[in-house]
Structure 1
Amino acid sequence: MKKFAALFMIIPFLLFCALPVGAAEKEERAWQDESIYFIMVDRFMNGDASNDYDVNPDDPKAYHGGDLQGIIDKLDYIKDMGFTTIWLTPIMDNQKKGYHGYWIKDFKAVDEHFGTMEDAKRLVKEAHKRDMKVIFDFVVNHTGDQHPWVSDPAKKDWYHEEQPIMGDSQGELENGWLSGLPDLNTENPNVKNYLFDAADYWINQTDVDGFRLDTVKHVPKEFWSEFAAHVKETKKNFFLLGEVWSEDPSYIADYEKTGIDSFVNYPFYKEASKTFSDAGNSLNELYTVWERSQHYFKSPKVLGNFLDNHDNVRFTHLAVQNKKNPVTRLKLGLTYMFTSPGIPIVYYGTEVPLDGGEDPDNRKMMDFKSSDDDLTKLLDKLNAMKKQYPALTKGDFKELFNEEGFAIFKRTYKDNTMIISINNDTKTRAESLKDLPDNQQLRGLLLDGIVRQSKDGSYKLGMDRETADVFVVEEDEGYNWLFIGFVGGVLGLFVLAVTIISIKNKKTTTEH
């Protein structure tokens, strides 16, 4: 009996081994293979109550208590969703109410509300233990108005003369005081060298993997060219993610020549947030964004795609305004963002999903108790697919069908082909695909469906309204009757053995 039981126990293992394996080849992880979880440090997790100075959770413009220890405590939570990189808002010492990190008063110190330099080192070390990378926000355009340099007569030429930005000429953008913040004169060799030294300080002290560069268009390109070359000498493969706040891809792409590796993709954000926050919207403009990116950028597959961030209304808020279920809308938007070319960037709280209007309402404290199970599972699946199927990070991106909110795309890399189907329409849709090889099947990775080739040679793909799926194209081997027969035989033998033993036990009982 024990032998039969042991044989029965291995059946699930045999079934598992019979499933199709992933198409991924094990290759070194490049930056385009990453997925980023973006955290506003003060609003994420309070891990150390001893640094809660002037904390007031009722004031949306005050410190709320989040710190570096809190992020360390939640690294496994982030990793469990499949993210490979975290990006933090600036952790440098800020002036009063600089909870967001952008009002710097000391470029070489950790803000006391966030912890210490030892905490920063430990955060990077703990992330690296989990095979995760860390990006720090780095600001060179301005300081806080209470920075000691502002009142130092010897450093008067460290700033441009005070003037508001009234237009969009490059001179005004680079020399004016953004939001009234003192504008650093990066043309001054002393300022430039200090900022270079500050960058070296953070890299050497913490072993951080990259910087997200704030307000790039407000700093001359000449500075960025020198800065990029400098930090990449300091650390090999150091990553620079630039923020050029513009919807013009040609304008953003011009900064690629400076050596900045990637940019937060505002053209993508504009169309994706609008398209997916309501049902029935066409995906035409979204695909146009990709076509333009290919035209203007040398490395379009490394652009940072996002649905919302700390400077814009949360995606959930847009969906609610449109009287739509934000979870349903996020499923569509996230599926497209993770499967189209680029590095997906997910703003903390998307998995809740947190609501929030204009700044600072879009920077509420994270609510870990309310995380939506459907969204966290989806993020885990999407991240797992990116790791397993190289077509989703390295492959081309071609439109197969796009009409009235229903779109189908194909990505191919070497022998791996993936089909992405997004039905943003308000009704069920179907389309027959003919641009695929014979004797294949499309296996759905999100909804678990199988699409086989029809007699006319096409593959008919149907989708319920407001749903999305990602299919791997693989050989259709039909049903494995040999294996099914084997399993059936084992089950039959098990049942027979149980029956025989049962009869024998009854006979023994009767005789006694």
Structure 2
Amino acid sequence: MKYKIQFPNISVRFFYVPILMIFFMNISLNAQIQRIEPPFWFSGMHNPEVQILFYGEDIAQYQVSTANPAVITNVKRTENPNYIFITINTKKVTGTAVDFTFKNKNKTSFTQKYELKERRKNSAQRKGFDASDMMYLLMPDRFANGNKNNDNDSSTTEKYNRELPGGRHGGDIEGIIQHLDYIHSLGATSIWSTPLCEDNDAEYSYHTYGQSDVYKIDPRFGTNEDYVRLGEEMHKRDMKLVMDYVTNHWGLQHWMIKDLPTPDWIHQFDNYTQTNHKRSTISDTNASKIDRDICINGWFVPSMPDLNIMNPLVLKYLCQNAIWWIEYANLDGIRVDTYNYSEPEGISKWTKAITDEYPNFNLVGEITLRNQGLLSYWQKDSPIGQIQKFNSHLPSVMDFALSDALQIIFDEDDGNWDKGVTRVYDIIARDFLFPNSSNLLIFAENHDTKRFNQIYKNDIRKYKMAMTMLATIRGIPQLYYGSEIGMAGDQNLGDADIRKDFPGGWDGDTNNAFTKEGRTEFQNEYFNFTSKLFNWRKTNDAVHFGKTTHYIPENNVYVYFRYNATKSVMIIINNSPETRTIDTKRFQENIKNYKTAKEVLTDVIFDLSKAIPIEGKSALILELK
């Protein structure tokens, strides 16, 4: 059968080519079956049904049965005879496995056992990341090479080449595990790693957003078992593991893209069509149909086929894949790449399927919109979404509006009207748009943005002001690896420059920034401040879930309070170059009967009945006593 996929200026027709492989989950496969996905499932799930994909040459010709006919609830064949999708009801299964019988003309051709594993105790009630956490974002290929034996793998195309800025540099899961204590010492309580599943692109595969197998960790990062071990080691340190998940697209080398189950598994056009990236068309009631369709259905880039999540088979496949990883790797959260590039109805069903299974789980979506009304549309129970009778069911979104502001304001010294720290004031003033502003992921930078320290030319005063805001403003703070030691990088030189190797992660590195002794004085100044700040943050629940009262900035000085029934914290950000004196009388509605305040990083005591001096380009965090 022929499945046509249009690439830029090239029309390629894929015919069935057997994909020979050794299945990685130690499942014994019959010769007629080349893949089973999910490779196994779990008993006791909220949704008792699981759709099992069997893949093999002409496998659709067989009749499939089990000893108990009630176990199989649906059999789906597609245009491609190499696939058959069997849905079973796990509640009807006796024991820990299902024995499938494949018959041809009423004669048994072969059988296949399918395992149902027992879930962890209280798995459904697992608690996701929240505003009490600080999330550390790293790119595994660029963080640390803990196992040089997996730098190359015979099953993947691109080979180790640390001399190539955009090549594979050898960082891996073992490297993360070996430096968990370093990350923990920063005050980080969770880790978001960019994707770890296999990406078999011939080049630039290090970022792994063009995945070729979503049930398999890229062998250059390690094994599935290594990923499980990472979660186990993190949980020993009370840290949470957040997986980067891609719902919108796969890579061209994905085995299913090479032999599509059905032509509409991906979005196809007569000629290659790229998304217009205009995400506002989704909620825009005045948008043209063609603009909206191209926005949703167009490919992200030529090397990433756009998945059709409105195909029920695709939707079910993606739901189960995410749930499988949560159960198998004992995940604590998911960051969803390009969340609103998928069809809204489909992606909301995907999200709800996960939160139905795990009511306390958290997912944060990458919504690269800067307008807060448009951003709010995508958070669960948004009042703006409800106007259009839409609910994404997505608990958290990334606050790109705040990120953009933090990359501008510290060079705006005058702070006139809507400049300087007033930009942040205005952002917080629009929190009413969000049903849960404390569940926004807040950040100064990430792996796709300009490097903060590059923008501000390593002016540590500006870094300290930004980190102080992230540690004390509502939301879940996220730190990008290397910023805590002053790492910079010029995005104008390419993405690889903002994704440099962490110094000390490779044998032979002359600078080992993972240790106090190995860091330079410059790096230790950044690290010591960051570590003290975010370790303090762990101790103060007023900045986790407390209320906010903020005051209109004056002279480029922003004052706000985070407080609950038992604690109150006063934060002063002086973004002007000059020393300012803060008259505390203006803030009596929050100071109330408090007499003194201790600055949390210096232990200096301030008398709240007197004016508070603050140096130019600096911040104070005052715990009221």
Is TM (by shorter chain) over 0.5?
A: yes
- For residue 463 of structure 1, what is the aligned residue in structure 2? 614
8 Å Cα contact 1:407/1:423 also seen in 2: yes
Q: Does 1:36 align with 2:135?
A: yes
| CA apart distance, 1:154 | 3.9
The separation in 2 between residues aligned to 1:277 and 1:95, in whole angstroms, is 42
| CA apart distance, 1:278 | 6.1
1:312-327 aligned at under 5 Å gives the runs 312-320=449-457, 325-327=458-460
Shift of the 154–136 alpha-carbon distance from structure 1 to 2, 3 Å rule, reads closer
Q: Does 1:339 align with 2:339?
A: no
TM-score (norm 1): 0.82
- For residue 350 of structure 1, what is the aligned residue in structure 2? 483
8 Å Cα contact 1:92/1:106 also seen in 2: yes
Shift of the 312–453 alpha-carbon distance from structure 1 to 2, 3 Å rule, reads closer
Greater strand fraction, Structure 1 or Structure 2: 2
8 Å Cα contact 2:198/2:208 also seen in 1: yes
- For residue 445 of structure 2, what is the aligned residue in structure 1? 308
Shift of the 375–157 alpha-carbon distance from structure 1 to 2, 3 Å rule, reads same
Q: Does 1:246 align with 2:382?
A: no
- Per mean C-alpha deviation after superposition, the further-off stretch among 218-227 and 264-273 is 218-227
Q: Does 1:267 align with 2:401?
A: yes
Shift of the 209–100 alpha-carbon distance from structure 1 to 2, 3 Å rule, reads same
The separation in 1 between residues aligned to 2:477 and 2:260, in whole angstroms, is 45
- For residue 498 of structure 2, what is the aligned residue in structure 1? 362
Work out which of the residue numbers 224, 230, 245 in structure 2 matches 1:117: 224
- For residue 442 of structure 1, what is the aligned residue in structure 2? 597
- For residue 378 of structure 1, what is the aligned residue in structure 2? 529
8 Å Cα contact 2:209/2:246 also seen in 1: yes
Work out which of the residue numbers 273, 293, 312 in structure 2 matches 1:171: 293
- For residue 400 of structure 1, what is the aligned residue in structure 2? 551
The separation in 2 between residues aligned to 1:396 and 1:115, in whole angstroms, is 43
Letter in 2 for 1:450: I
- Runs of 4+ aligned structure 1 residues displaced above 3 Å come to 233-236, 277-281
CA deviation digits over 1:368-422, x for unaligned, max 9? 4245222222222222332222211122222235123222211221121110011
8 Å Cα contact 1:304/1:344 also seen in 2: yes
CA deviation digits over 1:238-274, x for unaligned, max 9? 2101001110111121111311111111001010111
Shift of the 280–50 alpha-carbon distance from structure 1 to 2, 3 Å rule, reads farther
8 Å Cα contact 1:149/1:155 also seen in 2: no
The separation in 1 between residues aligned to 2:451 and 2:340, in whole angstroms, is 24
Letter in 1 for 2:273: Q
The separation in 1 between residues aligned to 2:341 and 2:172, in whole angstroms, is 29
- For residue 174 of structure 2, what is the aligned residue in structure 1? 69
| CA apart distance, 1:461 | 1.1
- For residue 433 of structure 1, what is the aligned residue in structure 2? 584
- For residue 183 of structure 1, what is the aligned residue in structure 2? 306
8 Å Cα contact 1:401/1:409 also seen in 2: no
Letter in 2 for 1:179: V
- For residue 492 of structure 1, what is the aligned residue in structure 2? none
Shift of the 460–153 alpha-carbon distance from structure 1 to 2, 3 Å rule, reads closer
Shift of the 176–112 alpha-carbon distance from structure 1 to 2, 3 Å rule, reads same
Instruction: State the identity as a percent.
Output: 30
TM-score (norm 2): 0.68
Letter in 2 for 1:116: T
- Per mean C-alpha deviation after superposition, the further-off stretch among 175-184 and 146-155 is 146-155
Give secondary structure in 2 for the equivalent of 1:288. Answer: helix
8 Å Cα contact 1:277/1:315 also seen in 2: no
The separation in 1 between residues aligned to 2:403 and 2:373, in whole angstroms, is 16
8 Å Cα contact 1:203/1:235 also seen in 2: no
Give secondary structure in 2 for the equivalent of 1:398. Answer: strand
CA deviation digits over 1:429-457, x for unaligned, max 9? 11111212246112111233222144xxx
Could you tell me which runs of 5 or more consecutive residues in structure 2 were left unpaired when the two chains were aligned: 1-126, 153-158, 282-291, 380-390, 505-511, 514-518
Give secondary structure in 1 for the equivalent of 2:249. Answer: coil
Q: Does 1:223 align with 2:346?
A: yes
8 Å Cα contact 2:584/2:608 also seen in 1: no
8 Å Cα contact 2:594/2:624 also seen in 1: no
8 Å Cα contact 2:191/2:240 also seen in 1: yes
- For residue 211 of structure 2, what is the aligned residue in structure 1? 104
Shift of the 238–367 alpha-carbon distance from structure 1 to 2, 3 Å rule, reads same
The separation in 2 between residues aligned to 1:277 and 1:118, in whole angstroms, is 47
* Alignment coverage as a number of residue pairs: 438
- For residue 59 of structure 2, what is the aligned residue in structure 1? none
8 Å Cα contact 1:224/1:260 also seen in 2: no
CA deviation digits over 1:478-512, x for unaligned, max 9? xxxxxxxxxxxxxxxxxxxxxxxxxxxxxxxxxxx
CA deviation digits over 1:196-227, x for unaligned, max 9? 12112211211011110000111122122221
Q: Does 1:137 align with 2:230?
A: no
CA deviation digits over 1:11-38, x for unaligned, max 9? xxxxxxxxxxxxxxxxx99611111000
Could you tell me which runs of 5 or more consecutive residues in structure 1 were left unpaired when the two chains were aligned: 1-27, 475-512
Q: Note the aligned Cα RMSD (angstroms).
A: 1.8
8 Å Cα contact 1:280/1:404 also seen in 2: yes
Shift of the 56–418 alpha-carbon distance from structure 1 to 2, 3 Å rule, reads same
Letter in 2 for 1:348: Y
Work out which of the residue numbers 49, 54, 57 in structure 1 matches 2:148: 49
Work out which of the residue numbers 415, 418, 426 in structure 2 matches 1:288: 426
| CA apart distance, 1:298 | 0.4
| CA apart distance, 1:62 | 0.9
The separation in 2 between residues aligned to 1:427 and 1:376, in whole angstroms, is 26
1:81-96 aligned at under 5 Å gives the runs 81-96=186-201
- Per mean C-alpha deviation after superposition, the further-off stretch among 181-190 and 143-152 is 143-152
Give secondary structure in 2 for the equivalent of 1:31. Answer: coil
Q: Considering only CA atoms, is the larger Rg found in Structure 1 or Structure 2? A: 1
